[in-house]
Every structure is written in structure tokens, then in C-alpha cells.
Structure 1
Amino acid sequence: MIDLRLLRDDPDAVRASQRTRGESESAVDDLLRANEARRAAVQRFEALRAEQKQLGKRMPKAAPEERATLLARTKELAAEVKAAEAGVTAAEQEQRQAHLAIPNVVEPGVPAGGEDDYVVLREIGERPSLPTVRDHIELGEGIGAFDLERGAKVSGSRFYYLTGVGALLQLGLLQLAIAQALEHGLTPVIPPVLVKPESMEGTGFLGAHAAEVYRLEADDLYLVGTSEVPLAAYHAHEILADLTEPIRYAGWSSCFRREAGSYGKDVRGIIRVHQFDKVEMFSYCRPEQAAEEHLRLLGWEEEMLAKVEIPYRVIDVAAGDLGSSAARKYDCEAWLPSQQRFLELTSTSNCTTFQARRLNVRYRDEEGRTRPAATLNGTLATTRWLVPMLENHQQPDGSVRVPKALQPYLGGRDVLEPVRR
């Protein structure tokens, strides 16, 4: 949730953020009205309760001739207080709905526009010069890395089996990510992948992204699309001491996405699938540390990309393509030779205090006051990385070179040869 003090003190800043995102400015006015209505309802309730307490104190000392009048007013007040309390509850519910409707306020400098309005910050590495280009499907099936046909037979479209060297490549990649996370002081976590509605809502995934989420109706639980969700909810309703140093986790989990509305887009192979594995970084820090922490997470993502030796670029994502929780997001996109385009591999988002306000995650400042923490997340490795790894390291005979950093996880092999069928 956005800071209501910011809303009241500088509503034009929130309106400007909405315009940059391409969202409705009227939602800001709706929240302002709901906030004012709640404040008025609370004031009325508190005034009536104060009068009720004063009457309670006067009653024992009242003269007999006053008592009847005071008793009558006491009965009236009881009804008024009950009605005022109900009014506060209704006003709070209305404010909450209006509050949930507004995404995070974007950082200054975030590009305006939609999906195609990103800004390229840098491009790293050389795109390979390949005499013949095979796509990741031909390469992966050739070396026995996955089985798409049986995945579809067993589970339906966009499911797959990772087999043989494919399973080893993914396990090696994720273990390499965890090893790097440990080097930088992150705590490894294997979280639950089924979460309660409040955890999903608290991280902002039940708004515009609700159609992407798998829900188990019988149990009222959700399958997570990223371990960001259970890691953000890990410290819900807690106070994280003084938080002078960020608290950082690296979550390894399976992830599930319905991919609603993406029909016809990257449907072949393992680019856009319903289930995949991922190592996700997650950080809690003080709000004033968040911008620096964001760049730190981006740096660790680039460090991992360098280890798997694939060319990539970094983009500053436009406001209209941000999730509701993100104030800014940087993506790392790998070069995909078969399609002559860049493919998103990692995202890192600064969610400022947006998620922490929803989940009630706080820290204690130097004066002992509790403040909402800032939260950030960033992808360190995921199944999709196999796609550009196979394509950028392919060789003319259909074999695939193994990046040096991954060779220990594949028994020391430096090349994955096509298998006989």
C-alpha cells in the first residue's frame, strides 16, 4: 500500500505516478475521499466515546433529579456509539478497497509508457556468430535434455520433463546460484509453495495478476508464481529490530503460473511454461537503503549471467509494465540467436514500503518508533536460463558447450554431445 501521508501531503505526486503507469487518476481522488470519510468517522466515534466516559463518571455523583436525564442520554449514547463504531468499520473497509486499488508510486526517472517503452542501460557480451542456428528445442531434444512430447501427454501443453543432462543443467545452475548467494551472505531458504490468500494479496499478486495464479479452492490456498511471496510473508506482523543491515534471503522453489492471456506467445519449448524452478533473492532494508540495495541485487544477477557466459542487456522497465508492487524494475535479457531478439531472464524490483505496509513488516528506528520496512526481490537463476544457454553455446554438430562454472555439476563435462536415438 502507498503511504497515506504522502497521499494527503502530495496527492499530485500520486496522480503523476498513475499517469506514468497509464492508470486512472480518479483512483487517487477515490482514496482521498475514503480516507477523509474514515477520519471523520473515527473522530465522531471518539467524540461519542469521550462523552460516554464523562457520563459514566458523572453518574455516581449526580443528584437524584439529574439521574433520570443522564440515564436517558446514556441509553441514547450507547446506540450512537454502536452506530458510530459500525460506521468506522464500514469506512475502514471502503478505504482499504480504495487503498488496494492504487499501485506503488513509481520512482523519479522511471520511463513512462508500456511494455515497449523500456530504456536500454547497457549491453554486455558479444552475440555469437553462428553459421547454422538451431533453436533450444532442437538442441535440447538432440542432447536428451528434455522431453516436451511426454510432458504434454502427462500434464498438457506447456509442461515438460527435464531429462538427463537437462536435469543436471538445471540442478547445477540453481546450485551455482545458491553458492553465489552464500558468498554474499544471503540465507538460503526452501519455502512453502502453497500460501494463504493474505500472503498473496500482501505481495500484490491478487490484483491485476490474479488471472496468473493457480488457486486450490477446496483449501483456499494459492500456488506461488515466485518465492517472493512466501519470503515477503515470512516476517509478516513482525518488528525486525533496528534493521541497520539488510536481511537477505535466497529462496529455492518450484513456481507455478497459469500464463493466462499469453496464447500464441512463446508456446513452443520451455520459454513460457506453467511450472519451473527458480532461485529468488529477497531483501528487507530501511527505506533510505532501498535504491542502493536495488542496484546491489542487479549486480548479483549480472554476476550470475557472467558465470554462464551468455550475452545480455539490462533495461529500465517502463512504468506501465511494472507490477503493482514495484516502484522500479530492472530486467536482464539474454540474446536468443534463433529468434534474433532478447529474452527476459531476470527481474529485480524495488517495492519500497508497499508490500511491508500490507504485510505489517516493521523495524525500529533510532528513536524507538516502528516504521515500515522496504522490500526488494531479484531473480538469481531459473529454468528459462537453459534456453539461451543452449542456443548461445551451440556448436555446428548440434553439441552444446558447457560454461566453465557449470562443468563441476555435470561431472566435469565441457561439451554435451547429441545422443543416439
Structure 2
Amino acid sequence: MIDPKWLRVDPDRVRRSQALRGASVELVDDLVAADETRRSSILAAETLRAEQKSLGKLVAQAKGDEKAELLARTRQLATDVKASQADAAAAEARFDELMKQVGNLVIDGVPEGGEDEGVIIETHGTPRDFVAEGFEPKDHLEIGEHLGAIDMERGTKISGSRFYVLTGIGAQLEIALLNLAMNKATEWGFTPMIPPALVKPEAMDGTGFLGQAAQDVYRLEADDLYLVGTSEVALAAYHSGEILDEATLPRQYVAYSPCFRREAGSYGKDTRGIFRVHWFDKVEMFVHCDPADAEDWHQRLLGYEKEFLQALEVPFQVLDVASGDLGLSAARKFDCYAWLPTQERYREVTSTSNCTEFQARRLSIRGRFSDGVRPVATLNGTLCAMTRIIIMLLENHQQADGSVRVPEALRPYLGGREVLTPGA
């Protein structure tokens, strides 16, 4: 959540941020009022409690009618204190409920607008001219089925629509990508992790995924657990309730985990193949750091994503995501969109978000700094969403005979293989 001080010192900043997100500005007015009620209720309860304590000392010294009067006042105060504390607790709960609905403060410079109004800030590589090469490119599913790498029919038989099975070289390709991604991240100073894919409600709520994104989350009601849509959730909650020494920051983690998404609202979109599915595996980077270093770390995470895509020799663009398309926790986000030949457009494959102190406040993750104990900043970045990267490899590196060229960086992880062919 945001720092409550902004409601008192500059509520207009919070209003501007909400407006940029296309979210409720009136919510800020409700919050300001709730904050005033909360603070006055707490003060009233503390005042009555202080009087109650002072009366206790006077009763011990009083006699006769004076003592009787004091005892009567003490009994009345006990009732008043209990009611006042209940009012304060209700006011606090109302304030917290409203605070959880407010998105992170959008960083200055983020493009204004909705989903289609992000700004392309970089382009890397040049899409192949398949016409000049003399053949029509096939889509990833046709290539994958030809190679014996993707089985949608049996995935659907096992689990339903938007499920798949990676078989043979498809499974080997994911394992190769995993090893390449983990080795790269380790070189960059990240600690490899394999966290749980099932998390408690407080972990999901603390990272902001039970707000606007709740409809996309799978919940196991019998166990009150959630299936994560990204290992960001587990990596953020890893240090929940902790105070981290400044000397140990930044904490850099990279996790491999299955991810589950309902893909609510995507009915009829990307139904062919493995672009938009209910389950996929992903390698995710995560950083806990001093808030003063957060924007620098955001650029680093973007740099790592770019380096990975360049190693795979896939053309891509970098998008500065517009304010109205930011998730609840993100103050700024950069997406990488790779070229998809058969659709003749760039599609999202990675993203990195600067969540500033927003998640840390919700999860009570603080740092012990020279100027005191205060919340840290958290950032996340996708290094390799397996299904989408496999799509980009198959389509961008396909050859006229139906084989697929293996990028040089990936060859050591596929036994030196330079080309993928059926049954190989």
C-alpha cells in the first residue's frame, strides 16, 4: 500500500495517480475522511484510557463519598473505553480496506493512457523476410506438432482447454531454456530458488493480486490456498514480517515455478497453440532493495531481459507501459514484445515492474538503514515465460524444410544440437 502520509501532506498527488490509472479519484476523498476518523478515534480511545489509568491511582487514595464517586466514574469509563476502542478498531479496519484499493503512486514520466497507449522506446533486431527466402512461415503449433514437441489434443484430454503437453524436443527445449536462464541469472548475482506454487491468502493479498487481478487467480477453497500466477508472489512473501539489514541489500532471487492463470476475459483470444494458456512454467527475477536504488534496479532488470532475448536472436521491442495498464502494485512497468512472424506483429513475452515500497508495506518487509527502520522496495522481472519463448524460437528460427535452427547460446544446453528436426 502507499505511505499514508501522502493523504495528509499531498492528497492531490494520490488523486493524480488514481486518475492516471483510470481508477476512482473519489476513493481518495473517502480515504482522507477515513484517515481523519481513524486518527480522531484512536486519540479519543487513548484519552479515555489515560483517564482510566489516572483514576485508578486516585481511587486507591480516596475515601468515603469521594471514593464512591470515583468508582462510579471508573465503571462508566470502563464502558466508554471499551466502546471507544471498538470504534477505533472499526475505523482502522475501514481505513485499511480503502487503502488496499488504492494503486501504487505512478512514477513521473510514465506514459498516460490505456492498454494501447504505451510508448515503444527501443527496437532490437530485424524481422526476417520470409517472402525473400521463398517460403510462407508456419505458426508455432504446426511447427511444434511436426517436430513432435507440442501435443494440444492430449493436453485438452487430460485437463481441458488451454492446456498442453510438451513432448520430446519440446520438453528438452524448456529444460534448455531453464538452464540458460538460471545460469545467466546466477552470473548476474541472483540466488536460484524453487518456491511453492501454493501460497496463503496474505501472500497473494500482500502482492496485490487479490484486488483487480482476483478474477484471474485459482483458489483451493478447501485449503484456503492460492495457485500463483507468478513466483513473484512467493519471492515477495519470502521476507514478509522481517527486518533486513542494509548491508545484506539488495537481495536478488531468481525462481523457477509453474504459474496458473484463469485467463478471465480472454475467451476467444489466442485460442490456438500455447500463447495464452492456464498453466505455464516461468523463470522470474525478484529484488528487495533500498528504495533509493529502485529505479536503477528497474533498468538493470530490463537490461537482463533484453540480454536474454538478444541471446536467443529474437527481434523485439521495449514498451514503456501506459499508466492505465499498470497492475495495482506497479509504479512503472516495461514490457518486451517479441516479433511473431505469422501474426506480423510484436507480442508480449516479458515484463519488469518497479513496485517501490507498495508490496513491502503490505507484507511488512523493512530494512534497518542508517536513518532508521523503514520499508524496502521490491521489483520483479520475467526472464523466461517458457511457452511464449518457445513460440518465438519456433517461429523466428524455422526453416523451409520444417526444421528449426537453434540459437548459438542455447546449443550447449541441447547437447550441441544446431537444428531441431522431427524425432531428433
On whether the aligned pair clears a TM of 0.5, the verdict is: yes
Q: Specify the SS of the correspondent of 1:276.
A: strand
* Structure 2, gaps ≥5 residues long: none
Distance 1:242 1:78 in 2: 45
Q: Distance in 2 between matches of 1:366 and 1:407?
A: 47
Matched, 1:268 2:267: no
1:230 aligns with 2:234: yes
- Structure 1 contact 395–401 (Cα < 8 Å) conserved: yes
- Verify: 1:375 aligned to 2:378, yes or no: yes
Letter in 1 for 2:85: E
Counterpart residue type for residue 247 of structure 1: R
- Cα gap change, 1:243/1:84 in structure 2, threshold over 3 Å: closer, same or farther? farther
Q: Which shifted more, 342-351 or 58-67?
A: 58-67
CA distance in 2, matches of 1:204, 1:247: 21
Q: Which secondary structure does the structure 2 equivalent of 1:226 belong to?
A: coil
Aligned to 1:33: 33
For the 8 Å contact 1:243–1:285, the answer to whether it is kept is no
Identify which of 301, 304, 307 aligns with 1:303: 307
Contact residue 214 and residue 223 of structure 1 kept, 8 A: yes
What is the deviation of 1:64?
2.5
Deviation at 1:419, TM superposition (A): 4.7
Q: Which moved more, 1:306-315 or 1:407-416?
A: 407-416
Letter in 2 for 1:14: V
Do structure 1's residue 350 and structure 2's residue 354 form an aligned pair?
A: yes
1:48 corresponds to: 48
- Residue 312 of structure 1 aligns with which residue? 316
1:65 shift after superposition? 3.0
Deviation at 1:98, TM superposition (A): 0.7
From 232, 246, 269, the equivalent of 1:242 is 246
Pairing 1:67-86 to 2, within 5 Å after superposition = 67-86=67-86
Q: For residues 236 and 114 of structure 2, what CA distance do their matches in structure 1 show? A: 27
1:148 aligns with 2:173: no
TM norm structure 2: 0.97
For residues 76 and 287 of structure 2, what CA distance do their matches in structure 1 show? 53
Q: Is residue 244–residue 286 contact of structure 1 (8 Å, CA) maintained in 2? A: no
Asked if 1:98 is matched to 2:103, the reply is: no
Structure 2 letter corresponding to 1:215: R
Which residue of 197, 217, 220 maps to 2:221?
A: 217
Q: Could you tell me how far 1:245 is from its partner in structure 2?
A: 3.2
> CA separation in 2, counterparts of 1:186 and 1:391?
30
Kept after mapping to 2: 8 A contact 1:142/1:419:
no
Residues 252-275 of structure 1: per-residue CA shift (max 9 Å, x gap): 101000101101111110000011
**What 5-or-longer segments of structure 1 have no aligned partner?**
none
Contact 1:165/1:410 (<8 A) preserved:
no
Distance in 2 (CA, whole Å) between partners of 1:163 and 1:7 is 54
Task: Write the deviation string for residues 253-308 of structure 1: whole angstroms up to 9, x where unpaired.
Answer: 01000101101111110000011000100000111110000001000111111111
Indicate the residue corresponding to 1:12 in structure 2.
12
Say whether residues 1:417 and 2:424 are aligned partners. no
Residue identity in the other structure for 1:72 = A
* 1:216 partner letter: L
How far 1:154 sits from its partner (Å)? 1.2
Specify the code of the residue in structure 2 equivalent to 1:197.
P
Alpha-carbon distance in 2 for matches of 1:206, 1:331? 22
Structure 2 equivalent of residue 256 of structure 1: 260
Of 240-249 and 151-160, deviating more is 240-249
Question: Deviation digits for residues 364-390 of structure 1, max 9, x if unmatched?
Answer: 1203x2101100000011211111111
- After TM superposition, the structure 1 = structure 2 runs for residues 168-247 of structure 1, keeping only pairs within 5 Å, are 168-242=172-246, 245-247=249-251
- SS of the counterpart of 2:339? strand
**Where do 1:120-139 residues align within 5 Å?**
120-131=120-131, 132-139=136-143
Q: Secondary structure at the match of 2:130?
A: coil
| Compared CA separation, residues 109 and 240, structure 1 to 2 (3 A) | same
How many Å separate the matches in 2 of 1:152 and 1:408?
33
Deviation at 1:143, TM superposition (A): 1.0
Structure 1 range deviating more: 53-62 or 72-81: 53-62
Aligned-residue Cα RMSD (Å) equals 1.0
Give the superposition deviation at 1:244: 6.4
Corresponding residue SS for 2:314: coil
Q: Residues of 2 paired with 1:129 and 1:243: CA distance?
A: 51
1:412 deviation in Å? 1.1
What number of residue pairs does the alignment pair up?
419
- In structure 1, C-alpha distance between the alignment counterparts of 2:65 and 2:277, rounded to whole Å: 80
Shift of residue 202, structure 1, vs aligned partner: 0.4
Cα distance per residue 1:215-239 (max 9 Å; x no partner):
0010010000000001000000000
Question: Separation in 2 of the partners of 1:415 and 1:382?
Answer: 22
2:142 and 2:78 map into 1 onto residues whose CA distance is 76
Scaled by the length of structure 1, the TM-score of the pair is: 0.98
| Amino acid paired to 1:73 | R
Divergent runs of 4+, >4 A: none
